[in-house]
Structure 1
């Protein structure tokens, strides 16, 4: 018999060897309102069909948990793939990127898709769910899996597995349909309770439940600019002939890593130069842009972007001057409190909005001001003694999480402002059915930077990440579509470069802490990439902000 400790109810109970996680869930008589979809076994996420042969600590997860939602979503994707395969034997579907709180998919047919196609796909998906078909996990030699996917014409998966360097691998079967997913699935299709699929521009949008309230779908939000950025970078990837990690690994193994670095860096510089030209030439015959507002989530590379943009603005004859929002904090005793009674420094209202706007207005009216300086030791704002007046060629650069919030500069004329949203929008996929979350890209950047420059462990960074993302959801993401320009700071090759930095840091996360499950997942994810050395990265690269070796001062 086994001893199983259940973290959901803090009880220990005996079970026969070889019991599945689902057997154990039922044996504890747990009643999770939204049902289990996966579980952490000694802090590693496993599917509910996982069999247990030794004593374990187990925590069952539902879709309110990020890992649980990933399990639910992967399973829903497989159902979509099967529905398309049955309806359109000569067609296929690619899951491309998150947008509008759903997931954008491209249906590859020899014609454009119509509303009747969407209706048919949704009905077929519902039939598959109603039939409650089991997901089968099959483990085999990687060579066998590669041969199987090759025979089926699924070369994206064959390339990924062939370049992974793994002796054994696994794939999933759903009836006659096979597919590959790099994490667990639910036991059967009947576990999927809520979804929707709608026509979205030239493709489809797969909609999922809201994590906080799984009985409702995520609210559909319009993100035309975000979609355009993703599609622009996908077009670039297609020109390079690299759409998936398998393509990328093969190119690197064939000696093209330096070419990919050079082209990716050049494309970013071209985009920055284009934004600088837009700022310079906007309203040249009237009110010119005097204030550039740059916002974006954590580890998006805002600081390096603002420095590179400043260089491009200087080549256009402008004099950029950085303004720090940190110097406009209210005195610490006036800082708003969060729900836990702690100072909420992420809040917009931690800033002295009226004072900030008054100073901006004076500057834009041609008056001289004295810039403030916030003393973080005393928690007080002080006079800095630094005077500033905007001359004919000066342009202010303001970077911060609230930069795009309309409440920051409500009375500054729109003609005087240019708003930029920066984020690491990963555009390469593991394969056609496994996208790479943009948050994973940013989290890996932050883990490396925190470890190298802030003396934080990966465990500490991972533990805070959910709170960081909650702040982004509240203060950054609602305003991203207000931007005049969106800049994608992700680089095609970067996860292959981050790999050698991140892996040793992630391996230090101990197995007995909650962050281990995320560290383990990220390590498994990075294993799909070949390593690329950073010696070819230019000193102005956005990645240098996180890895070191930058020619910019931070």
Structure 2
């Protein structure tokens, strides 16, 4: 018998008992489906067996890890349904972008996509879910995996495993359909009852639950986000670098410098075009920039200001932070801690008063916020707007009209910026834009604040909640959406972040996330940073920027 501690009580099970059987005893205590167990601080799929004494906790579809397990399992379910209907080599459903409540996918090589075809795929998925078919994992050699995917015509995966250091690969088998997925999966198709398929743009959305794990989230189209992602993907494909394996091929063939130069030239061109657009849009006096954490907002605002200056305008960087309320008036969050991310943490009235006075041509004294004392100070910072002057305002609430409620719409130009990576791991696994931003932040926090990787990871969920509440709902209101992702950046960040992640102890809560990120980074060949220009957005994170960032 093996003795285990579960939910504060001691239990005994025969050694060799599948975790799935143990879960059956406890599922009634949880409103969300249990999809993994944590055994002695290590994640285990439910087909694994109990082999020794230890402690068990449960991961449900309400947890971030559980949500990812569910979503990637639904992708496998969709692939199997397409395979059953059309055969492996004839038709492909490729997962391209993550858009809010789901994945944007395309069906290639088969019938013209329409409602009837999509309904056929959905019904086959529901049939497979009803049959409760096990998702089994098998370990094969890396060479065997490459040969297998070559025979399947899955060149993305074949290319990816060319650079895999590990000698083995975990393959998932769903009733004879084999595929590779980055991360854990549910135990069987019976878990996968909550999804939907909807036509969107030139493909379709695979939708999944969000807050309520047993209800598919309502799809809210994000057309600007889609077009920005699609443009980046098309550019990557034109360069022949749409996947990590293709990037590694380019690095291995000595094209690193070429890729960096082309990518940076493209970004400078796009910033220049954006500056021209602002100038052509008439008398815009307020350029409002907002985006999630580690999007490169500061470097972007400097580079945009340079381009605006080159067009004869006079831009002035303007941080919203100077309008924070004094510390004692800052609202508290649900944990009783100061909430600096909510709109109410800013003196909105003073901001609007100052901006409107500037619009009239008056000279205004702008406050300066002292982060050490937690108070605004007057230091004689005077500002006045002439004919060619404009403010480049960077801040979390820049796109929210409640911040600038009294400023005429025609005086504002709104820009949403985020690092929307165009790289996929392969045709069924996309590289998370959130992971890229987190890795950027770990590197920057360690360099500029002396923060450990564990502390940055520990606060990341709180940062993400703030983004979901205060940034993402307003992204479609921007005049322009700017993608700050660099196609080569993970290969550069890899050498900076890996030592920080390896420094996280196994007995800490952040270890699992660190280990997951290390597995992502393992796919990338490194690129040295010495050829990257000092004005690059990546310099904001790794250091060496010509701007004060």
Q: Give the TM-score normalised by structure 1.
A: 0.96
**Partner-residue secondary structure (3-state), 1:323:** strand
Asked if structure 1 preserves the Cα contact closer than 8 Å seen for 2:27 and 2:33, the reply is no
Secondary structure of 1:536's counterpart equals coil
- Show the counterpart of 2:77: 79
The aligned counterpart of 2:51 is 53
1:480 aligns with 2:468: no
Aligned pairs (5 A) from 1:144-543: 144-210=144-210, 212-283=211-282, 288-543=283-538
Residue 408 of structure 1, CA deviation: 0.9
Task: Report the CA distance between 1:549 and its aligned residue.
Answer: 0.9
Give the distance between the partners of 1:40 and 1:501, measured in 2 at CA: 30
Label 1:112 to 1:316 Cα distance change in 2 as closer, same or farther (>3 A): farther
Q: How far is 1:228 from its partner?
A: 0.2
**Separation in structure 1 between the aligned mates of residue 405 and residue 195 of structure 2, nearest angstrom:** 39
Distance 1:46 1:533, change over 3 A: farther
Q: Secondary structure at the match of 2:268?
A: helix
Query: Unaligned regions of 5+ residues in structure 1, if any?
Result: none
- The Cα shift of 1:27 comes to 5.5
Q: Is the 8 A contact 2:18 2:48 kept in 1?
A: yes
Give the whole-Å Cα distance in 2 for the aligned partners of 1:341 and 1:103.
Answer: 36
TM-score, structure 2 normalization: 0.97
Whether the 8 Å CA contact 1:164–1:529 is kept in 2: the answer is no
8 A contact 1:135–1:185 mirrored in 2: yes
Taking a change above 3 Å as real, the CA distance of residues 351 and 29 of structure 1, as seen in their structure-2 partners, is closer
Cα deviation, residue 301, structure 1:
0.6
Partners of 1:136 and 1:102 in 2: how far apart?
25
In the TM superposition, residue 3 of structure 1 has moved relative to its aligned partner by 3.5
- 1:511 deviation in Å? 1.1
How do 1:21-170 and structure 2 match up within 5 A?
21-26=19-24, 31-89=29-87, 90-109=90-109, 112-170=112-170
Q: Is the 8 A contact 1:95 1:106 kept in 2?
A: yes
Cα distance between partner residues in 2 of 1:141 and 1:249 = 20
Of residues 23-32 and 486-495 in structure 1, the stretch that sits farther from structure 2 once superposed is 23-32
User: Structure 1 stretch 416-425 or stretch 253-262: which is displaced more?
Assistant: 253-262
Q: Structure 1 residue 185: deviation in Å? A: 0.8
CA contact (8 A) 2:209 2:217 kept: yes
CA-to-partner distance for each residue in 1:343-400, whole Å, 9 max, x for gaps? 2111101111111001001101111111111233333222221211111221111001
Aligned counterparts of 1:361 and 1:317: Cα–Cα separation in 2: 24
In the alignment, the residues of structure 1 paired with residue 130 and residue 27 of structure 2 have an alpha-carbon distance, to the nearest angstrom, of 25
Runs of 4+ in 1 over 4 A off after TM superposition: 27-30
**SS, match of residue 534 in structure 1:** coil
Deviations 1:29-57 (A, max 9, x none): 76322221112233333311123434433
CA shift digits 1:476-511 (9 cap, x unpaired): 110001111111111111111111111111111111
Whole-angstrom CA distance in 1 between matches of 2:326 and 2:278: 34
Mean Cα deviation higher: 329-338 or 136-145: 329-338
Structure 2, unpaired ranges of 5+: none
Deviation at 1:446, TM superposition (A): 0.8
The secondary structure found in structure 2 opposite 1:366 is coil
SS of alignment partner, residue 87 of structure 1: helix
Q: 1:251 deviation in Å?
A: 1.3
- CA drift of 1:242 comes to 1.4
Cα deviation 1:55-104 (Å, max 9, x = unaligned): 43332111111111111111100010111112222110110111142110
Deviation of the 1:291 alpha carbon: 0.9
Deviation, 1:436, is 1.1
In 1, Cα distance between equivalents of 2:53 and 2:417: 47
Going from structure 1 to structure 2, the CA distance change for 1:88 and 1:356 (only over 3 Å counts) comes to same
CA 1:290 to 1:203, structure 2 compared with 1: closer, same or farther past 3 Å? same
Offset at 1:531? Answer: 1.3
